[in-house]
């Protein structure tokens, strides 16, 4: 096309008058403008891919430590703190010394802000615990057997202006400053669970007794005062307890022992309910994950496990070990859950620190704690970790870990989620409660997409290909002139209109006339053949008046009649075969679930939408088969149909294949029809009478609500990228095949 | 010919193929007819029937309403729903009656079993009143109260119509006052607030300017009080008249004319009257704003939004698409790179539209829009100006979506120009640009125009990406108005396609809104078909014009 290179010779330009110079300059301006503009336009299109990838990328980048700041040892906290925490803004480090003094220090320089002792006398802290769902609440157990509960709070002080705001820490004692509980022996293990109705405190003493304190809160409706009603229970535990935790719903007490077992006790009566062997080594640390459902277990060898109660067939809850995490090197000494996500930090006795995420089962980050760690603190946003060494020095690690909850495995493989009886593919991106476990499995969405596309293709392909074959090979030119614009009209119908008709007209119609719809399939082909036979045999004078290639117009009333016949005939048939109503029979007798907006409706509506695409490309392919081939075949005595199947079809088959591919690409990406004509439930079932949720519809539904930059947002971008890549690959394949076909034709 | 012999020729297959064509024709025709029939039926003044029926206990009651639908239902299903079914028949007929009066009876519709109907007639005096709230009222007219005087009985129809006219005049005045004058004051007050904030952001020390803003604000408040007083008098005037109506079971309703939009007596209308009513209702549908959460009234803002968005999109996509196509065909060096680019562009036309929506939301709205806000509209933050979906971003997204279509059409148009034409032009001494501009482009214009119009048609019917980048179910104001800069690219807008989705699937009263959705769908189909028809005609015209040049 572009063989001519119209470069104007330079010498000529120099000699020409101004006008010629202007012409040449205009030419080069145009060349530059168009070249730059064109490149930019193409670049803009390429940017779509790049941008989608750029947004998705952080999902798969590993977490990292951004900085490490030494806050230095604090003489007063020496030798090492028993407990550490960071406030929401990451500005105040709170620590509890082994002597029972709470210190608040600046996270930026380590300066002391304030400090306050928990008790008037001397105190030796032997155990601490905090509530995972309400991390401000901390329980402290001492060598004297006393257990105290305090809450650390942070207020913002704007008195000097917005820019210089300060965080002011303070201590509160919601259950009084005195000891809530007194054990006979030093407290060895402690656990706390608290919500608006009750506080549950479990303490294990060195004498082997387990003491349970239940503080029921009743609020006086008139005065708003909260009355606290305290009960305690105590029981000797026959085995050596190495770790203790309380479930978030306050029903269970979990105890770990030295032989690797977890014992589940009921908090109602302190009775042993279940013992499971989680590990082969002694349990050394346990903690509840956010939400209070999952138990995290660490053992002496450094292995980490997750366990949660699962309902069995008899609807009985039993604790089960669900998954293990990549192990640390030495005995696990501390496990600290994140406060907003299902992640946690584990520390071993030699100072290795691991960041994990429970849903993915992966270790996202590995920090060298540089020596044994005495206490670990996590900021509420989990973007900073505090590690205190045995010598009392504190280091603050800024961590970049935005998307630990998404991994290749959670996107595509079965995952065992909390409260589920078995591993499953689940898409559930949001829920009302904040401690919810997001479930980002793209598998059910991809499944739904393919299911919708498959049923659409089942409807569209036979109709479109048969119609294309007839239009290209047998139809009279006059009729062709009429049919082609009608198909163009079909292509131009907005999909939102098709979706609306499918959802509000077709779905109720199909539900009501289900038998009739299937009857049409049964009646139409034999009916048409019967008519054709009668027509060719007994058509007589009429037959001669209808020229060849006008059959479709002749068949229009026949098809209408046959459809009406099928609808009418369906009533008695279903009365006899299905006891009156096929739709009711399906659910009652066959046990097949039926949604009003189902795959059958989608198949018809989306099939309708892809028919014109398939039709026009296939028609081009059929029509492009060189006349010489068909003429030759006919001249050799083949019937028109033999010519069709043995000459035209093989020659056009690459084109037909590419038509199918492009049709498939369109069906996969169609949004509005699926959105409006299915229930949009992400189920995985090939059932023709149930709905699905597709990638595209899912994006349309959830994108406006997702928070920018969140894992959900990026996973939706990933869904878009998957759609993009799929259609791109399919269309490229189709295009390459089509070009090959063109070359083949040109050689014939 | 025996059947087997006939079948062996393959003729049945050919007939089946023909039947597929027939089925396609029927599907398209049936669909368009279905939409047209249901959509247009919305405007037709259906007669009002009075139905006396007997319920299970034998008590009789009377209903007044328009028959919307008649369907067959099996006894089994009725009994499953817990109804007692009279007679023996296995299948029964029932009718859906639109009884209106939602404020009194709680719902607009009633299903009535035909077997229970004792008597049916069409009372001459039945009145249908379209109201600003609660849907239509169906009943009888008792009289019109104008101030203190009451026009009773049958003579009141004329008075009623006059009162309606007066009320709608007043309503127009009120809305003009509220929208134009008071809207202008609010707009200026908002501008002042932004200016004040700007000064604050710049360091906050400009007492002269702040003083000026304060006096100006005072002035505007005074103006506002004047308009408010005026509005008050209008409201008093519009509250003056009332129409006294009676439901079919004898309940008296005093309806202020402020709430009446239109009233008609369908049973006494002649065919001419009905056609007049039909046309007027159709016009009102395309020219008025929606009411009652979009389930009543017209779709003018949606039409306006659709057209404006498509126009802006066209302005963007046309030059870029054409330049892209020209570059690819005329200027880029042909090789594997251009071949790859060509295939890629071709494929982009097949990438799902929702993907473009996601890109538009992420890149245009959040990234670009967020930066624009931070740079130029800092004073309005945290309220986003361009950092949220809007007309401009929607147009850009659709421009990107249709760009491949225009590029491909331009390329194909250029490819069809024979090489001899170019060579002739160059041989006569024209530069490359002159050849392109004077010779090649005019010849390729039919192809380019067709591509553009097809792009427009595609854009007009596309909804999925728009849901992410700025379409809303109810926009408070049109994107074009009398306030500087007149065209508000950042505003959210309404769209016909989204209107269908929203009213058909998200509205609280889907059943009542359904005819309106059909009408909207019909409108959208007409618009896209019209655009396609224009594309075809334009293509043929231009092709004829330049036919002589083609080889």
Q: Which of residues 604-643 of A touch B (CB under 8 A)?
A: 608, 611, 615, 639-642
Q: What is the pLDDT of residue B551?
A: 46
Residues 6+ positions from A229 with CB-CB distance below 8 Å: A215, A216, A217, A218
Cα dist from A147 to A78, A123, A265, A286, A345, whole Å? 22, 11, 21, 20, 25
- Residue B179 to residue B182: CA distance in whole angstroms: 6
Query: What number of other Cβ atoms are within 10 A of residue A377's Cβ?
Result: 22
- Nearest Cα of chain B lies from the Cα of A727 at a distance, in angstroms, of 6
Q: How confident is the model at residue A7 (pLDDT cuts 50, 70, 90)?
A: low
Q: What is the pLDDT of residue B83?
A: 76
Contact of A446 with chain B, judged by CB distance below 8 Å, is answered with: no
- Closest by Cβ to A467, choosing from B6, B17, B510: B17
Quick check: B356 pLDDT over 60?
Answer: yes
Element (H, E) at B538: helix B510-545
- Do the Cβ atoms of A672 and B464 come within 8 Å? yes
Select from B9, B91, B351 the residue whose CB has the most chain A CBs within 10 Å, as the one to mutate to test that interface.
B351
Query: A543-547, B87-91, B451-455: which has the highest mean pLDDT?
Result: B451-455
Cβ neighbours of A666 in B, within 8 Å: 350
Q: What is the pLDDT of residue A4?
A: 47
Q: What is the pLDDT of residues B271-307, one digit of tens each?
A: 999 999 999 999 999 998 888 777 788 899 999 999 8
Q: What is the pTM of this model?
A: 0.89
- Closest by Cβ to A494, choosing from B24, B467, B497: B497
Residue closest to B359 by CA, chosen among A699, A425, A267: A699
CB A314 within 8 A of CB A332: no
Q: What is the pLDDT of residues A477-486, one digit of tens each?
A: 888 888 888 8
- Do the Cβ atoms of B501 and A486 come within 8 Å? no
Q: Which of residues 502-521 of A touch B (CB under 8 A)?
A: 503-505
Least confident range of A26-35, A59-68, A517-526, B380-389: B380-389
- Do the Cβ atoms of B12 and A551 come within 8 Å? no
The arithmetic mean of pLDDT across residues A177-203, rounded, is 86
Q: How confident is the model at residue A3 (pLDDT cuts 50, 70, 90)?
A: very low
With 0-12 CB in 10 A as exposed, 13-18 as middle and 19+ as buried, what is A724? buried
Q: What is the pLDDT of residues A446-502, one digit of tens each?
A: 999 999 999 999 999 999 999 999 999 888 888 888 888 888 788 888 999 999 999
Cβ neighbours of A483 in B, within 8 Å: 21, 24-25
Q: What is the pLDDT of residues A544-569, one digit of tens each?
A: 777 778 888 889 999 999 999 998 88
Quick check: A409 pLDDT over 70?
Answer: yes
- Do the Cβ atoms of B426 and A4 come within 8 Å? yes
Cα dist from B449 to A484, B363, B532, B540, whole Å? 20, 29, 11, 11
Residue closest to B355 by CA, chosen among A427, A445, A667, A716: A716
- Retrieve residue A404's tokens: 């630990």
Q: What is the pLDDT of residues A55-70, one digit of tens each?
A: 999 998 888 888 888 8
The arithmetic mean of pLDDT across residues A740-744, rounded, is 76
- Do the Cβ atoms of A31 and B433 come within 8 Å? yes
- Nearest Cα of chain B lies from the Cα of A635 at a distance, in angstroms, of 16
Q: What is the pLDDT of residue A724?
A: 92
Cβ neighbours of A471 in B, within 8 Å: 21
Q: What is the pLDDT of residues B243-258, one digit of tens each?
A: 888 888 888 888 888 8
Quick check: B332 pLDDT over 50?
Answer: yes
- Closest by Cβ to A470, choosing from B18, B467, B536: B18
Q: How confident is the model at residue A542 (pLDDT cuts 50, 70, 90)?
A: confident
Quick check: B238 pLDDT over 70?
Answer: yes
- Do the Cβ atoms of A492 and B436 come within 8 Å? no
Quick check: A1 pLDDT over 60?
Answer: no
Percentage of residues in chain B with pLDDT exceeding 70?
98
Q: What is the pLDDT of residue A447?
A: 94
Interface contacts (A, B; CB < 8 Å):
343
Q: What is the pLDDT of residue A450?
A: 93
- Nearest Cα of chain B lies from the Cα of A581 at a distance, in angstroms, of 9
Least CA distance to B1: which residue of chain A?
Answer: A537
Least confident range of A215-229, A295-309, A676-690, B209-223: A215-229
Least confident range of A408-412, A567-571, B72-76, B136-140: B72-76
Q: What is the pLDDT of residue A501?
A: 93
- Closest by Cβ to A486, choosing from B28, B91, B345: B28
CB A173 within 8 A of CB A116: no
What is the DSSP track for A653-719?
A: HHHHHHHHHHHHHHHHH--HHHHHHS---------TTS----HHHHHHHHGGGSPTTSHHHHHHHHH
- Three-state DSSP class for residue B136: strand
CB A661 within 8 A of CB A730: yes
Contact of A105 with chain B, judged by CB distance below 8 Å, is answered with: no
Quick check: A136 pLDDT over 90?
Answer: no
Residue closest to B529 by CA, chosen among A491, A11, A94: A491
Q: What is the pLDDT of residues B417-430, one digit of tens each?
A: 888 888 999 999 89
Q: What is the pLDDT of residue A2?
A: 45
Cα dist from B356 to A662, A675, A712, whole Å? 18, 17, 18
Output the average pLDDT for chain A.
Answer: 86
- Do the Cβ atoms of B521 and A500 come within 8 Å? yes
Quick check: A431 pLDDT over 60?
Answer: yes
Q: How confident is the model at residue B240 (pLDDT cuts 50, 70, 90)?
A: confident
The arithmetic mean of pLDDT across residues B457-481, rounded, is 85
The arithmetic mean of pLDDT across residues B48-64, rounded, is 85
Quick check: B41 pLDDT over 90?
Answer: no
Q: In what order do the strands lie in the sheet with A226-236?
A: A187-194, A198-205, A209-219, A226-236
Q: What is the pLDDT of residues A370-402, one digit of tens each?
A: 888 888 988 888 888 988 888 778 888 989 988
Percentage of residues in chain A with pLDDT exceeding 70?
95
The arithmetic mean of pLDDT across residues B201-209, rounded, is 78
- Closest by Cβ to B15, choosing from A528, A644, A662: A528
Strand partners, A137: A151
Query: What number of other Cβ atoms are within 10 A of residue A389's Cβ?
Result: 20
- Nearest Cα of chain B lies from the Cα of A572 at a distance, in angstroms, of 11
Quick check: A9 pLDDT over 70?
Answer: no
Counting every residue, how long is chain A?
748
Instruction: Report CA dihedral (A113, A117, A122, A123) to the nearest 10 degrees.
Output: -100
Q: What is the pLDDT of residue A162?
A: 67
- Do the Cβ atoms of B15 and A494 come within 8 Å? no
Residue closest to B322 by CA, chosen among B430, B437, B416, B417: B437
The arithmetic mean of pLDDT across residues A512-517, rounded, is 88
Contact of A547 with chain B, judged by CB distance below 8 Å, is answered with: no
Residue closest to B32 by CA, chosen among B529, B545, B537: B529
Q: How confident is the model at residue B360 (pLDDT cuts 50, 70, 90)?
A: very high
- Nearest Cα of chain B lies from the Cα of A393 at a distance, in angstroms, of 42
Q: How confident is the model at residue A161 (pLDDT cuts 50, 70, 90)?
A: low
Quick check: B233 pLDDT over 50?
Answer: yes
Cβ neighbours of A556 in B, within 8 Å: 22, 25-26
Q: What is the pLDDT of residues B169-202, one digit of tens each?
A: 998 888 888 888 888 888 888 888 888 888 887 7
- Residue A684 to residue A690: CA distance in whole angstroms: 10
Quick check: A130 pLDDT over 90?
Answer: no
Of residues A655 and A457, the one with the higher pLDDT is A457
Residue A650, Cα to own-chain centre: how many angstroms?
Answer: 43
- Do the Cβ atoms of A55 and B362 come within 8 Å? yes
Quick check: A163 pLDDT over 80?
Answer: no
Quick check: A604 pLDDT over 90?
Answer: yes
- Residue A616 to residue A559: CA distance in whole angstroms: 23
Contact of A717 with chain B, judged by CB distance below 8 Å, is answered with: yes
Helices (H) and strands (E) in chain B, counts: 19, 13
């Amino acid at each position: 096309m572009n063989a001519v290179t119209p470069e104007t010779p330079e010498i000529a330009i120099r000699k020409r008058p101004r006008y010629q110079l202007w012409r040449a300059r205009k030419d080069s301006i145009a060349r530059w403008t168009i070249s730059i503009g064109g490149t930019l336009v193409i670049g803009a299109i390429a940017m779509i891919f790049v941008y989608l990838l750029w947004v998705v990328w952080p999902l798969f980048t590993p977490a990292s430590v951004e900085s490490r700041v030494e806050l230095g040892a604090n003489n007063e906290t020496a030798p090492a703190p028993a407990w550490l925490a960071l406030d929401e803004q990451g500005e105040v480090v709170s620590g509890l010394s082994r002597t029972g003094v709470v210190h608040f220090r600046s996270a930026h320089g380590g300066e002391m802000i304030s400090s306050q002792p928990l008790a008037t006398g001397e105190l030796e802290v032997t155990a601490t615990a905090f509530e995972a769902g309400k991390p401000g609440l901390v329980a402290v157990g001492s060598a004297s057997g006393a257990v105290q509960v305090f809450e650390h709070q942070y207020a913002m002080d704007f008195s000097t202006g917005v820019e210089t705001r300060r965080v002011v820490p303070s201590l509160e004692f919601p259950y009084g400053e005195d000891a809530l509980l007194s054990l006979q022996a030093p407290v060895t293990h402690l656990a706390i669970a608290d919500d608006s109705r009750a506080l549950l405190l479990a303490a294990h003493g060195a004498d082997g007794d387990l003491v349970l304190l239940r503080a029921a809160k009743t609020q006086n409706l008139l005065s708003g005062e909260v009355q606290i009603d305290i009960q305690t229970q105590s029981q000797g535990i026959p085995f050596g307890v190495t770790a203790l935790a309380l479930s978030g719903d306050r029903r269970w007490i979990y105890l770990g022992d030295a032989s690797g077992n977890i014992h589940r006790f009921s908090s109602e009566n302190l009775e042993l309910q279940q013992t499971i062997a989680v590990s082969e080594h002694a349990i050394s640390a346990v903690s509840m994950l956010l939400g209070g459902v999952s138990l995290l277990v660490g053992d002496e060898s450094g292995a980490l496990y997750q366990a949660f109660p699962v309902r069995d067939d008899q609807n009985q809850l039993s604790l089960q070990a669900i998954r293990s995490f990549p192990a640390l090197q030495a005995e696990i000494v501390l496990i600290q859950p994140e406060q907003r996500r299902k992640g946690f930090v584990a520390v071993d006795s030699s100072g290795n620190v691991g960041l994990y995420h429970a849903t993915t089962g992966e270790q996202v980050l590995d920090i060298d704690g540089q020596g044994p760690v005495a206490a670990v603190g996590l900021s509420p946003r989990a973007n900073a970790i505090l590690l205190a060494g045995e010598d009392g020095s504190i280091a603050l690690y800024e961590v970049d870990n935005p998307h630990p909850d998404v991994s290749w495995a959670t996107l595509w493989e079965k995952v065992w989620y909390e409260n589920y009886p078995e591993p499953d593919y689940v898409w559930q991106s949001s829920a009302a409660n904040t401690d919810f476990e997001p479930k980002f499995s793209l598998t059910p969405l991809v499944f739904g997409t393919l299911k919708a596309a498959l049923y659409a293709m089942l409807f569209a392909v036979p109709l479109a290909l048969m119609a294309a074959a007839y239009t290209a090979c047998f139809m009279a030119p006059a009729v062709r002139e009429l049919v082609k614009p009608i198909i163009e009209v079909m292509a131009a119908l907005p999909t939102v209109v098709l979706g609306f008709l499918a959802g509000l007209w077709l779905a109720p119609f199909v539900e009501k006339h289900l038998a009739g719809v299937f009857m049409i399939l049964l009646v139409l082909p034999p009916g048409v053949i019967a008519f054709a036979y009668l027509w060719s045999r007994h058509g007589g004078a009429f037959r001669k008046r209808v020229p060849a290639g006008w059959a479709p117009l002749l068949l229009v009333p026949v098809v209408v009649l046959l459809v009406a016949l099928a609808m009418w005939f369906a009533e008695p048939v279903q009365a006899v075969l299905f006891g009156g109503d096929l739709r009711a029979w399906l659910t009652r007798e066959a046990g097949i679930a039926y949604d009003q907006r189902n795959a059958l409706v989608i198949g018809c509506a989306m099939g309708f939408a892809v028919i014109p695409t398939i039709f026009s490309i296939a028609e081009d392919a059929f029509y492009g088969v060189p006349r010489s081939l068909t003429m030759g075949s006919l001249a050799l005595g083949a019937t028109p149909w033999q010519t069709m199947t043995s000459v035209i079809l093989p020659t056009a088959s690459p084109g037909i294949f590419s038509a199918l591919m492009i049709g498939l690409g369109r069906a996969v990406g169609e949004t509005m029809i699926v959105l409006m004509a299915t229930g949009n439930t992400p189920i995985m079932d090939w059932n023709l009478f149930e709905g699905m949720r597709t990638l595209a519809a899912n994006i349309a539904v959830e994108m406006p609500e997702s928070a920018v930059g969140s894992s959900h947002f990026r996973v939706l971008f990933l869904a878009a990228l998957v759609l993009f890549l799929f259609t791109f690959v399919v269309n490229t394949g189709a295009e390459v095949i089509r070009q090959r076909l063109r070359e083949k034709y040109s050689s014939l | 010919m025996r059947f087997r012999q006939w079948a062996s020729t393959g003729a049945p297959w050919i007939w089946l193929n023909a039947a597929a064509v027939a089925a396609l024709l029927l599907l398209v025709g049936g669909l368009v007819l279905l939409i047209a029939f249901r959509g247009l039926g919305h405007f037709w003044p259906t007669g009002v029937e009075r139905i006396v029926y007997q319920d299970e206990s034998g008590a009789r009651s009377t209903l007044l309403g328009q028959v919307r639908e008649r369907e067959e239902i099996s006894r089994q299903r009725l009994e499953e729903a817990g109804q007692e079914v009279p007679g023996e028949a296995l299948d029964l007929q029932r009718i859906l009656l639109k009884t209106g009066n939602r404020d009194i009876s709680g719902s607009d519709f009633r299903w009535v079993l035909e077997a229970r109907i004792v008597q049916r007639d069409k009372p001459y005096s039945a009145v249908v009143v379209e109201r600003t709230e609660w849907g239509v009222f169906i009943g009888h007219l008792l009289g019109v109260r104008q101030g203190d005087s009451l026009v009773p009985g049958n003579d009141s129809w004329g008075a009623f119509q006059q009162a309606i006219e007066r009320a709608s005049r007043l309503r127009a005045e009120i809305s003009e006052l509220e929208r134009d004058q008071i809207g202008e004051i609010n707009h200026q007050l908002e501008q002042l607030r932004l200016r004040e904030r700007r000064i604050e952001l710049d360091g906050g020390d400009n007492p002269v300017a702040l003083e000026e803003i304060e006096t100006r604000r005072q002035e505007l408040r005074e103006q506002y009080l004047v308009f408010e007083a005026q509005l008050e008098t209008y409201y008093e005037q519009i509250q003056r008249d009332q129409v006294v109506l009676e439901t079919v079971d004898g309940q008296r309703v005093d309806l202020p004319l402020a709430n009446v939009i239109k009233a008609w007596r369908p049973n006494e209308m002649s065919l001419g009257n009905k056609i007049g009513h039909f046309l007027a209702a159709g016009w009102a549908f395309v020219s008025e704003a929606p009411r009652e959460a979009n389930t009543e009234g017209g779709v003018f803002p949606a039409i306006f939004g659709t057209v404006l968005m498509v126009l802006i999109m066209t302005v963007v996509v046309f030059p870029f698409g054409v330049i892209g196509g020209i570059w690819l065909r005329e200027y880029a060096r042909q090789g594997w790179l251009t071949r790859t680019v060509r295939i890629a562009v071709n494929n982009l036309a097949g990438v799902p539209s929702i993907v473009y929506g996601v890109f538009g939301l992420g890149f245009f709205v959040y990234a670009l829009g967020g930066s624009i806000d931070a740079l130029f509209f800092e004073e309005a933050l945290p309220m986003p100006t361009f950092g949220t979906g809007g007309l401009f971003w929607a147009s850009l997204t659709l421009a990107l979506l249709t760009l491949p279509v225009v590029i491909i059409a331009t390329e194909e148009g250029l490819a069809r120009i024979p090489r001899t034409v170019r060579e002739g032009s160059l041989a006569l001494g024209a530069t490359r640009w002159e050849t392109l501009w004077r010779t090649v482009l005019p010849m390729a214009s039919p192809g380019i125009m067709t591509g553009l119009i097809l792009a427009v048609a595609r854009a007009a019917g596309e909804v999925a990406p728009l849901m992410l980048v700025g379409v809303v179910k109810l926009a408070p104001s049109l994107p074009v108005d009398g306030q500087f800069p007149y065209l508000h690219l950042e505003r959210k807008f309404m769209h016909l396609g989204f209107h269908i989705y929203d009213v058909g699937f998200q509205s609280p009263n889907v059943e009542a809104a359904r005819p309106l959705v059909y009408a909207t769908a019909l409108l959208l189909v007409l618009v896209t078909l019209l655009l396609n028809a224009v594309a075809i005609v334009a293509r043929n015209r231009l092709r004829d014009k330049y036919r002589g040049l083609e080889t």
